[in-house]
Amino acid sequence: MTTAISVAGLTRRYRDQVALDDVSVEIAAGSITGLLGRNGAGKTTLLRILAGQEFPSSGSVSVLGGPPAENDHVLRRMVFVREDQAYPDIKVCHALRATSWFYPNWDAGLADSLLADFGLPPGKAIKKLSRGMRSALGIVIGLAARAEVTLFDEPYAGLDAVARQVFYDRLLADYAECPRTILLSTHLIDEAAALFESVVVIDQGRVVLAAAADGLRGVATTVSGPVLAVDEFTAGRPVWNRRRLGSQASVVTVGQLDADRRARARSLGLDLAPLTLQQLVVHAAGWPAAPEAVNLEGTNA
Amino acid sequence: MAGLDEGTPLFGQVAERLAAEIADGGLAEGERVPSTNELAAYYRINPATAAKGISLLADDGLLEKRRGIGMFVAAGARRRLLAQRREQFAERYVRPLLTEATRLGIDGGELIALIKECGREQFTDTPGGVTV
């Protein structure tokens, strides 16, 4: 694998607060990677450092073979679309033209067709756009730049489900036409999960998971059914979460289940459901359980 | 992710969908299989995932690569897939049926009568359908 982004021992401190704590991660060239984690986990700080907009307190960062900060050779091959990007007081078409001067691979035809897809009027002043339309403008810039490294930081604030689907479809279509390294941070994990070739999960400034997305499915399974059967089936296996309601129990168990174990579950009358990427991230990052889960928890004496 | 289940590896699901289409005759032997990018766009998945699904079937000899053109359904693929499904029939359909019947206290005689009744309803007008 060729590496597009390489980070080693990266730490970023703000006074007494540690935003990134000894982060080491590599992103393969030409892959779409999901950067996942709670708000405040350190996703934006990492992306800003990758984009050369912030400096590490310690550790090393390499993008396309060099340090990004004040490095024109790297920055022209990289685009960073941030959440709630601020723009100067100009029209949409002027913002696009100004951006096009900076990016050697800028595709004006693609920008026009994306504007049409999002219903974004080119002659409108940016400050008169809604929040969602400003996000759409960021997405247009991020895709039309056709930069070797494309960083999206929660790019869809204020965009409705239909517009987000337009984003996913156009991202995949353009990636197919022009493969490049894309790093997308999001908290809408379930709806974006299928886009990712690999995922990096950050929690409290640390990387808690970095793996191929496909390998994560089936890593953990929710086993549910009668309490006694569930207990028998999960005995001696690592368990992440245990819930109970009356005579029924639901337990998240870690590890792949082979055909014999599945047959055993069936004969015990148990239901098996693999964890989705979103549920897996919730557990892997040690996030608090959803409120309805908290109510049920602790009843299992 | 149009119409794909949560959970099981996506590339496995892509392979299953293609295999089902070949078995049902929707993709004939010798016909070109959708490309990685076509599958990615249709199912809204990463192209690498779609490629893995295709190569799963290719490794199995169900698809064959024609250099510079794409992937095609191999000769004999349909027959092999149908044989596979036949082998899995008991495990996938009969056993769950028996488990649920036991749970409900439906005995063997009752179950066979039920199957006959459903068979008559479903297959009266279907030539070549199951006769029980």
Per-residue pLDDT reduced to its tens digit, B53-97 = 999 999 999 999 998 889 999 999 999 999 999 988 988 899 889
Contact A218 B8 (CB under 8 A): yes
- Count CA within 13 A, CB hemisphere, residue A112: 3
Nearest to A214 among B37, B43, B52 (CB): B52
Provide the pLDDT confidence category of residue A301 given band limits of 50, 70 and 90. Answer: very low
C-alpha span between A275 and A223 (Å, rounded): 10
- Identify the pLDDT of residue A298: 32
**pLDDT exceeds cutoff 80 at A226:** yes
**pLDDT exceeds cutoff 70 at B12:** yes
Contact B44 A173 (CB under 8 A): no
- ipTM entry: 0.78
Query: Residues B102-120: what's their mean pLDDT?
Result: 92
Q: Where are the domains of chain A?
A: 3-216, 220-296
B41 contact residues in A (CB cutoff 8 A)? 169, 172-173, 176
Contact A214 B6 (CB under 8 A): no
Query: Residues B29-55: what's their mean pLDDT?
Result: 94
CATH code of the region A3-216:
3.40.50.300
| pLDDT, chain A, mean | 89
- Identify the pLDDT of residue B127: 59
Query: Residues A99-122: what's their mean pLDDT?
Result: 96
Residues of A with CB under 8 A from a CB of B: 31-32, 168-169, 172-173, 175-176, 179, 190, 193-197, 213-215, 217-218, 266-267, 269, 273-276
Provide the pLDDT confidence category of residue A220 given band limits of 50, 70 and 90. Answer: confident
Decide which of B129 and A181 is more confident: A181
The CATH class of A220-296 is alpha beta
A194 contact residues in B (CB cutoff 8 A)? 1, 4, 10, 43-46, 49
Main-chain dihedrals φ then ψ at residue B13, nearest 5 degrees:
-70, -40
Task: Name A30's Cβ contacts closer than 8 Å, sequence gap at least 6.
Answer: A2, A4, A179, A180, A181
Residues of B with CB under 8 A from a CB of A: 1, 4, 6-11, 37, 40-41, 43-49, 52, 95-96, 99, 103
Structural tokens at position A87: 């723009």
Rounded to a whole number of angstroms, the distance from the CA of A33 to the nearest CA of chain B is 10
Task: Name A95's Cβ contacts closer than 8 Å, sequence gap at least 6.
Answer: A87, A88, A126, A137, A141
- Identify the pLDDT of residue A292: 32
A214 contact residues in B (CB cutoff 8 A)? 9-11, 49, 52
pLDDT tens for each residue of A189-210: 989 999 999 999 998 999 988 8
Contact A168 B44 (CB under 8 A): yes
pLDDT tens for each residue of A267-296: 888 999 888 888 888 876 654 433 333 222
- Identify the pLDDT of residue A242: 86
The residue of chain A with its CA nearest to that of B53 is: A214
Provide the pLDDT confidence category of residue A40 given band limits of 50, 70 and 90. Answer: confident
